[in-house]
Amino acid sequence: MSGNSGASPQDMVKKLVYLSCTLNQKCGQRTGPHREPEPFLGFSVRDRSGLEGAIASVFQSSFDVLLYPTIYDQAAALLFKLANGHYFQDGNKRTAFHLCLAYLRANNVHVSPPRSDDVITLLQTTVSRSGSQENGIAFVRQKLLDWTVD
């Protein structure tokens, strides 16, 4: 799943779509704003073609120049696009975050958020922020860089 591997972009997209569906199935129970348990509505892909398109867009290029050239750019774009796309019935933000981490790990990058509340804040900010997609992805990218473990 390495961004720099010999895998074709189509193969990469297929692997990431499969992984995102697998991760979404494992979401389970979440907590509400006052830490009360909320039920997981269950696994269901609402928009498979949208999911595939969102993931494929991360690896687009123009004149052989990638739109998201670095592993951090790609991971941030995956997180941003999946968290905001609502391609699953439930667990979109959690799925997006875990897919982002898995993608980074597959590329030998390890991130460790200081606290779980920081992850919640990142995800809530990512889906509630106004402004451009580019600014949102840049925000996520910076958090990932800040949380990188050497």
State the total domains in the chain: 1
Residue 132 counted as domain residue = yes
> Is-contact 78 58, C-beta < 8 A?
yes
Alpha carbon 126 to its chain's center: 11
Least confident segment among 18-27, 29-38, 46-55, 64-73: 29-38
Residue 18 counted as domain residue = yes
What pLDDT digit, counting tens, does each position of 13-23 carry?
A: 999 998 999 89
The boundaries of the domain holding residue 114 are 9-149
Phi, psi of 37 (to 5 degrees): -65, 140
Structure tokens at 72: 């951090």
Q: What single-letter DSSP state applies at residue 22?
A: H
Mean pLDDT for the stretch of residues 92-116: 93
Residue 3 counted as domain residue = no
> Is-contact 136 80, C-beta < 8 A?
yes
Length of the chain: 150
Q: What is the CATH number of the domain that holds 21?
A: 1.20.120.1870
**Pick from 73, 67, 82: which is nearest to 123 by CA?**
82
Residue 102 counted as domain residue = yes
Residue 19 counted as domain residue = yes
